[in-house]
Structure 1
Amino acid sequence: MENASHRRTRTWVIIGLVVYLLIVVAVLVLPVSYSAIVTAIGDWLRNELGIGGFGTGWIEFATNVLMFAPLGFLLTLLFQHSWRGVVLAFVFSACAELAQFVIPSRQPSLRDIVANVLGAALGAFLAWLIVLRRRKRRP
């Protein structure tokens, strides 16, 4: 039987997932070419911060990792099991890349799936540490 605190946490995690998924779906399916944004970030890193050596591919990879870390985190908190969240993130990522076949300005990529799953795994790992710590504190 769930206690009130666990139900409240679960409710907030579900709300967070819904908001997160709405934002990510919008980012993934909007017919916007993100190459100009990635190029602008690369230019900013190079020109304003003096950080060179990062091509646009690395910037896009890092962005995908960061974009999917919250998904792994939230799904792990929801299911209390890290690998379920990572597997669901993989399925979601693969579906998102497949959907990009029909969006003219977007290009699906296996590299994006790898980055997305890596991000979800990172988020899942962080949530797992939190869940594990909570479990150790419980009597």
Structure 2
Amino acid sequence: MLRRHPVLSLATFGYLAVIGWVTLGPQPLDGDGRRFLWTAIRWLQDRAATEWVTYDGVEFTANVLMFVPIGLMLVLLLGRGRWWLAVLLAVVLTVGIETTQLFLRDRVPDARDLVANSIGGFVGVLAALVLTWPKARALRRAELRA
């Protein structure tokens, strides 16, 4: 894996480090980012077309989107044939994160995060399978002709 795809491997490990920092590192108490987020959510809730937007919904969606690249990168590293392993690793990763949060003073594990992260990993796996399907199909055709 590391020898076949060194750049993708490094990018994956780097992204996993960012995920680790975001999910296990210290939470900002009351920064400008949090104020901006609440201001944006209130602004959206004041509009008829987007009054359904809530903090919980934004958080859930952010957790899904955060894990999409993990599923994608794992399929690219492991290969299309091991897509199921990519899904399993994404779920194991999120279970590990939520379990570790049990022992951190500033973090609270949440079953919704487990669901959202797992969905994100699965969506990433599906995206990788769709994106690599044309090449896989072309390779299969070339093998049949040979």
Which TM-score band (shorter chain)?
Answer: 0.7 to 0.9
**Structure exhibiting the larger radius of gyration computed from Cα positions:** 2
Identity %, equivalent residues:
27
2:41 aligned partner: 45
1:79 aligned partner: 78
Separation of aligned partners in 2, 1:104 and 1:44 = 29
Q: Give the CA deviation at 1:136.
A: 1.1
Equivalent AA in structure 1 for residue 70 of structure 2: L
The answer to whether residue 16 in structure 2 is matched with residue 31 in structure 1 is no
2:126 aligned partner: 125
Structure 2: 5+ residue stretches without partners: none
The answer to whether residue 68 in structure 2 is matched with residue 69 in structure 1 is yes
Which moves more between the two structures, 46-55 or 88-97?
46-55
Query: Under a length normalisation based on structure 1, what TM-score does the superposition of the two structures give?
Result: 0.83
**How big is the alpha-carbon RMSD for the aligned residues of Structure 1 and Structure 2?**
2.4
Residues 38 and 56 in structure 1, CA contact (< 8 A), matched pair in contact too: no
Query: Under a length normalisation based on structure 2, what TM-score does the superposition of the two structures give?
Result: 0.79
Residues 61 and 111 in structure 1, CA contact (< 8 A), matched pair in contact too: yes
The CA deviation string for residues 52-105 of structure 1, in whole angstroms up to 9 with x for no partner, is 222211111001000000000000111113221111010000010011112222
Q: 1:79 to 1:125 in 2, by over 3 A?
A: same
Residues 101 and 108 in structure 1, CA contact (< 8 A), matched pair in contact too: yes
Q: 1:126 to 1:44 in 2, by over 3 A?
A: same
